[in-house]
Structure formats: C-alpha cells, structure tokens
Amino acid sequence: MKSKLRLGYLYLKLQQLRGSLNVSSEKIKRQFSRPTLPVDNKEINLHLGCGNIAHPKFINIDGRPAPHIHYVRAIDNLAPFKDNSVDLIYACHCLEHFSYNRVPLVISEWHRVLKDNGILRISVPDFDLLIKIYNDCDQNLDSIIGLLMGGQDYQFNFHKAAFNEASLRRLLLNAGFNEVRSWQPGSTELMTFNDWSGRLLGGKYPVSLNLEAIKNSSS
Ligand SMILES: C[S@@+](CC[C@H](N)C(=O)[O-])C[C@H]1O[C@@H](n2cnc3c(N)ncnc32)[C@H](O)[C@@H]1O
C-alpha cells in the first residue's frame, strides 16, 4: 500500500515537472515568434482562459503559454485593453478558478473593457446540474469531484467558486450588466468551440451553465 502511494506521488511530481518544462520552453519560444492578432476583424473579441482552443476570430488570452496564445497573462487583469474597447468576451470554465470573494471584481474588470452593447459570454460548471448528476450516480462524489474542485493538475486548474443560474445572474446584474440570457453552444460561429460549454459528462450529462450578459449603459 505504502509503495503504491509513493508511486502515485512520484507520478504526480513527474507530471508537474513535465508541465513546468513545457511552460518554460513555450516562454522561450515566444521570445522569437508570437502569434499574429486577428487584425482583419473589425471587432475585438477576447477568448479568456482559452486553453488549447484557437478560434480564428478571437484574441486568445491564458496564463499558460502555447503557440496560439496572443497574451500570456492573468485573465482578471485586462490592462492591455482600454475601457469600452472590446465587443465580445468569451470565458468558458474559467470564472470558477477565482475565489468566490474575488468573482465580483473579476466580472467588473471584464465589464470595464466591454463597449456599450458589448457581450460577456460565460460558461461555468452548473452547481444544480452537478447535484443532479451526484444523485443520479448514487451520491458517488467521484462522479463530480473534477467539475466541482477542478482537475488540480496545474497551477490554474483549481476551482474556488461555484454557481447556479440564480447566483450567476445576480453577479452579472450587480456588476452593471443589463440583460442576462442563456446561449446555446454551436448556434452561431462565435458560439462554436469544442470546449466545456457543450460537453457531456460520461457522454450523457450536460454540466455547464451558459449565460451571456449585455452591457448597455443607456438603459
Ligand atoms: C478548465 S480550462 C478551460 C479551457 C477551455 N476554455 C475549455 O473550456 O476547454 C481553464 C483555463 O483557464 C486558464 N486559467 C484559469 N485561471 C486563470 C488565470 N487566473 N489567469 C489566466 N488563465 C487562467 C487555464 O490555464 C486553462 O487554460
């Protein structure tokens, strides 16, 4: 039993080391070549916490470097972008990576950079759906632990907040957004990503709460 635990620990450490080596080599590569911004777009669309996904119409921002990431930086500080300058922010399964105490500040930073009529499109694990899955799986915590707490396999992959429709709606309205509504993954080009927003757990259970909010200073 002890040697099994030791092996497990060693495996985790090796994975972490491999992750850090990848990050360092990506940082070095970036000194020589950076991805070009989607300049032909009239609109500025930000994909925050994009992970491996590279949608051609978005500026990709993530804390982990990769060849398609335009800005390697914290997604709760959008200093490169002026107030009222961005048309659309897409953030899928990353808001829950902030402490629930900080979530209002993060949303208000995202609100700051959006133009009038700009859209904040969010996907997060839906706490109510997780509870349903948990009950359906004989209250086996393993069925939802990753979605509840995050994969916990690298620095940015820890969940520190949970949401259901009522709580996320309230947070968005409190941040100054005027209209909050659901959105459907895959229904338009700018809603089409092969990501967590449309993923089914075990090929069966939807897990995501998909809401978008409009910034409209005049109403
Ligand atoms: C669970 S992954 C989601 C990836 C992708 N959006 C998807 O749905 O498949 C969360 C992503 O957010 C990034 N991330 C989380 N917290 C971050 C932070 N504070 N600053 C920058 N990136 C962060 C992680 O590096 C990771 O790529």
Q: What is the pLDDT of residue 179?
A: 96
pLDDT digits (tens, 9 = 90+) for 24-54: 777 777 776 788 888 666 899 999 999 999 9
User: Residues 23, 65: contact at Cβ < 8 Å?
Assistant: yes
Give the residue among 70, 75, 64 at the shortest CA–CA distance from 26: 64
Q: What is the pLDDT of residue 28?
A: 74
Ligand 1 center–CA 50 separation, angstroms: 6
User: Residues 211, 168: contact at Cβ < 8 Å?
Assistant: yes
Ligand 1 atom closest to the CA of 73, numbered from 1: 21
Instruction: Give the DSSP per-residue string, the chain.
Output: -HHHHHHHHHHHHHHHHHHHHHHHHHHHHHHH--PPP-TT-SS-EEEET-TT---TTSEEEESS--TT-SEES-TT--TTS-TT-EEEEEEES-GGGS-TTTHHHHHHHHHHHEEEEEEEEEEEEBHHHHHHHHHHTTT-GGGTHHHHH---SSTT------B-HHHHHHHHHHTT--EEEE--TTSSGGG--SSGGG-EETTTEE-EEEEEEE--TT-
Mean pLDDT, the chain, whole residue set: 92
* Residue identifier of the C-alpha nearest atom 18 of ligand 1: 74
Ligand 1 atom closest to the CA of 64, numbered from 1: 25
Q: b or e along 183-194 (b: 16 or more beta carbons within 10 Å of the residue's beta carbon)?
A: bebeeeebbebe
Ligand 1 center–CA 26 separation, angstroms: 16
Ligand 1 pocket member 90 (CB < 6 A): no
Q: What is the pLDDT of residue 25?
A: 74
pLDDT digits (tens, 9 = 90+) for 108-141: 999 999 999 999 999 999 999 999 999 999 999 9
Ligand 1 atom closest to the CA of 97, numbered from 1: 16
Ligand 1 center–CA 63 separation, angstroms: 7
